[in-house]
Amino acid sequence: MNDKFEKKNLDIKQTKNLLAGYQKPKTLRSLWQLANTLIPYFFLWYLMVLSLNVSYFITLALSVIAAGFMVRSFIIFHDCGHGSFFESRRANDAVGIITGLFTLTPYYRWRHDHAIHHATAGDLDRRGVGDVRTITVQEYLAMSSSKRFFYRFYRHPIVLFIIGPFLVFTVGHRFFAPGSSKRERWSVHYTNLALAGIITGLIFIIGWKAFLLIQVPILFIGTSVGVWLFYIQHNFDGTYWERHEKWNFYQAGLNGSSFYKLPAILQWFSGNIGFHHIHHMNSRIPNYLLPKCHRENPIFQVKPVTILSSLKCLRLRFWDEENHCMVGLEALNKIRYNPTT
C-alpha cells in the first residue's frame, strides 16, 4: 500500500471538530437536489409509458437512466433519515416519507435499522442489523455443511446483487421485525397503504402490463446498484473489523468504510455516497458537502476503491481475524487454525 494511503490513527477531538464544520444543510441546495432528482424521474417514467407504443428496447434503455434517478432519490431519503438534508426535523421526516415511496421503503423502520448499522459497523460482536451478513473464517469452519451452503448461497453475486435486492425492496420492506416500535410498525403499514393506492391508480391509468413493463426493470436495476454500493462500502480489501473491546467508532468509519472513487456522472447519480468513510464518521453531513470535506482535509484522503478494484471484492466472503483481512473461499484451505476453536 502506498505510504500516502496507509491506515491512519485519528485524534478524536480534532476529527469531530473538522467534521462538524460541514454538517450544516443548505436549504436551497437541498431543494435543488430534490428538484433535479424527482422531476427527471417523473419525466422519464412518462417517456417510458410513451415508448411502449414504439419499442420496448427504448423503454429498457430509459429504465437504466430512471434507475439512476431512483438511486439518487434513495440518497435523499437516506440523508433525511440521518437528519442531514434539512435543518428542520419535520422537513426531513416529510421528505423522507415521500421519497421512501419511490424506493418502496418504510421511512421510520429503515431509519431505525440504519442507525443501528452506523452505531455498530465494523464491530464483530454487534453484527446482524442493517448490514450485509459477514462471518469470520472460524465461524464458517464451525458451521454444519448445510449452514455453510446457505451462507455461500446468500453471498453468491446473483443472489446478493440481483435476486436479493429486488425481493428485499418489494417483499421484505412490506413487513416489520418482531419487537419493532409502534412508529416503525405504522411506518410499514402506511407505506404499504400508500403504495397500494399509487400502484392501483397507475394500473387504472396505463394498465397492469404497462406498469410491470416499466417498473420492474427500474426496480431490478436500481435495487441491484443500490445494494452493490452498500456492499462495496464495507466489503473491500483493507476494511476494518474488531471485537467490541477494541472497536473504535471513528476508526471504523475511516478505515472500515470505503472511499469509492467513481466517474463524475456516477458520483452524481449516487449522491456522493462513495465518500462513505466521511459519512460514517459524521452522518449529519449532507451528501453534497462530502466532496468538499474530503478535498479540504488530507486526513480523510484514504486509499480509494475504484470500479476495477471493486470487482475484485466480489470474491471476498469472510473476515480472517488472525490476519485482519477479508478473504474468499480459496483462502480457507491455506489458513491454519486451532481445531478446537
Residue range 283-305, pLDDT digits in tens: 999 999 999 999 999 989 889 99
Q: DSSP E strands: which ranges in 91-137? A: 135-136
Residue-wise pLDDT for 128-154, tens only, equals 888 899 999 999 999 999 999 999 999
Q: Does the pLDDT value for residue 333 go beyond 80?
A: no
In-domain check, residue 31: yes
Q: Does the pLDDT value for residue 35 go beyond 60?
A: yes
Residues 238 and 1: beta-carbon distance below 8 Å: yes
Q: What is the per-residue pLDDT for 1? A: 37
Q: What is the per-residue pLDDT for 5? A: 44
Determine the Cα–Cα distance for residues 121 and 170; give it in Å rounded to an integer. 25
Q: What is the per-residue pLDDT for 3? A: 39
Kindly state the average pLDDT of the residues 111-118. Answer: 95
In-domain check, residue 286: yes
Nearest alpha-carbon partner for 167 in 112, 228, 233, 223? 223
Beta bridge partners of 123: 242
Q: Does the pLDDT value for residue 10 go beyond 70?
A: no
Task: Extract the C-alpha cell encoding 56.
Answer: 420496448
Determine the Cα–Cα distance for residues 235 and 257; give it in Å rounded to an integer. 8
Domain total for the chain?
Answer: 1
In-domain check, residue 318: yes
**What is the DSSP secondary structure assignment for residue 257, as one 8-state letter?**
S
In-domain check, residue 161: yes
pLDDT band at 123 (very low <50, low <70, confident <90, very high): very high
Percentage of the chain lying above the pLDDT 70 cut? 94
Residue 167's domain comprises: 3-334
Kindly state the average pLDDT of the residues 92-119. Answer: 96
In-domain check, residue 103: yes
> In angstroms, what is the C-alpha Rg of the chain?
21
Determine the Cα–Cα distance for residues 238 and 73; give it in Å rounded to an integer. 30
Q: Does the pLDDT value for residue 71 go beyond 90?
A: yes
Residue-wise pLDDT for 85-105, tens only, equals 999 999 999 999 999 999 999
In-domain check, residue 205: yes
Q: Does the pLDDT value for residue 338 go beyond 80?
A: no
Residue 166: φ, ψ to 5°? -60, -45
Task: Extract the C-alpha cell encoding 159.
Answer: 443472489
Q: Which helix (H) or strand (E) holds 296?
A: helix 290-296
Averaged pLDDT of the chain = 92
Q: Does the pLDDT value for residue 226 go beyond 80?
A: yes
Kindly state the average pLDDT of the residues 236-243. Answer: 93
* pTM for the whole structure: 0.91
In-domain check, residue 248: yes
In-domain check, residue 138: yes
